[in-house]
Amino acid sequence: AQKVTQAQTEISVVEKEDVTLDCVYETRDTTYYLFWYKQPPSGELVFLIRRNFFDEQNEISGRYSWNFQKSTSSFNFTITASQVVDSAVYFCALGSNTGKLIFGQGTTLQVKP
Amino acid sequence: DAGVIQSPRHEVTEMGQEVTLRCKPISGHDYLFWYRQTMMRGLELLIYFNNNVPIDDSGMPEDRFSAKMPNASFSTLKIQPSEPRDSAVYFCASRRDSLYGYTFGSGTRLTVV
């Protein structure tokens, strides 16, 4: 069975702090993909990143970075020097080769000024 | 590219009425997904299609829910009869193939009173 666990329900930080959002996944598939989506207060789901199962190289995009470790089945997301505009719900998701995409429960990030 | 288009954006209906939600995927995308988002259950996958054929409808909550995809450019999710517990945001998403991410529509906020 496939499962995505985001253990942190809510995180509150002060602006300029670094914050890491955790994601742990379970799958029996040999081919799979991992995603992060952002849902700002306006409600849309914004794609942030996609990782293939075989690509454990960490990725950095501006203030965002992702750490994928197959050994621990984790795909964590770090925001460096957080800003108020980063306040949102962040979802980790697992995609299979059949096309199915399932989401974790989400982590609500509040960045206070 | 206009993205995934959902209509209506908001729907308020009385319990017992039939509700139809509509989705137009991105042209060329051969996967289409319907999700429901609630505070209690998060983002749930209801059903998904590949090349207009339903692949997995195990997430459809009960027989009151049905989904169709008569052609590559249109899908509907119907609830009949609607109940207050169906109140949620319903998202449609489409995807081209495994090399690409999933694009979500803006969602339909359904309120059943």
CA gap B36, A6 in Å, rounded: 18
Q: What is the pLDDT of residues B58-94, one digit of tens each?
A: 999 889 999 999 999 999 999 999 999 999 999 999 9
Q: Is B25 on the interface with A (CB under 8 A)?
A: no
What value does the mean pLDDT take over residues B8-24? Answer: 97
Which chain B residues are closer than 8 Å to A91 by Cβ?
43
Q: What is the DSSP letter of B52?
A: T
Q: Is the peptide bond before B81 cis (omega within 30 degrees of 0)?
A: yes
State the DSSP string of A31-90.
SEEEEEEEE-TT---EEEEEEETT----EEETTEEEEEEGGGTEEEEEESS--GGG-EEE
CB contact under 8 A, B102 and A105: no
Confidence of residue A97 (pLDDT cuts 50, 70, 90): confident
User: What does the pLDDT read at residue B101?
Assistant: 78
In this model, does residue B96 exceed pLDDT 90?
A: no
Amino acid at A2: Q
Q: What is the mean pLDDT of chain A?
A: 94
Rounded to the nearest integer, the mean pLDDT of chain B is 94
User: Do residue A104 and residue B42 have CB atoms under 8 angstroms apart?
Assistant: yes
Q: Give the number of other Cβ atoms within 10 Å of residue B79's Cβ.
A: 21
CB atoms within 10 A of CB B48: 24
Closest CA to B17 of B60, B79, B72, B110: B79
Residue B32 forms beta bridges with which residues? B49, B94
Question: Residue B41's closest chain A neighbor by CA?
Answer: A105
pLDDT at B82: 97
Q: Is the pLDDT of residue B98 over 70?
A: no
Q: Do the chains contact at B45 and A45, CB–CB below 8 Å?
A: no
The answer for B 43-102 residues in CB contact with A (under 8 A) is 43, 45, 48, 50, 55-56, 89, 91, 93, 95, 98, 100-102
CB-CB under 8 Å, B93 with A100: no
Predicted confidence at residue B1, as pLDDT, reads: 64
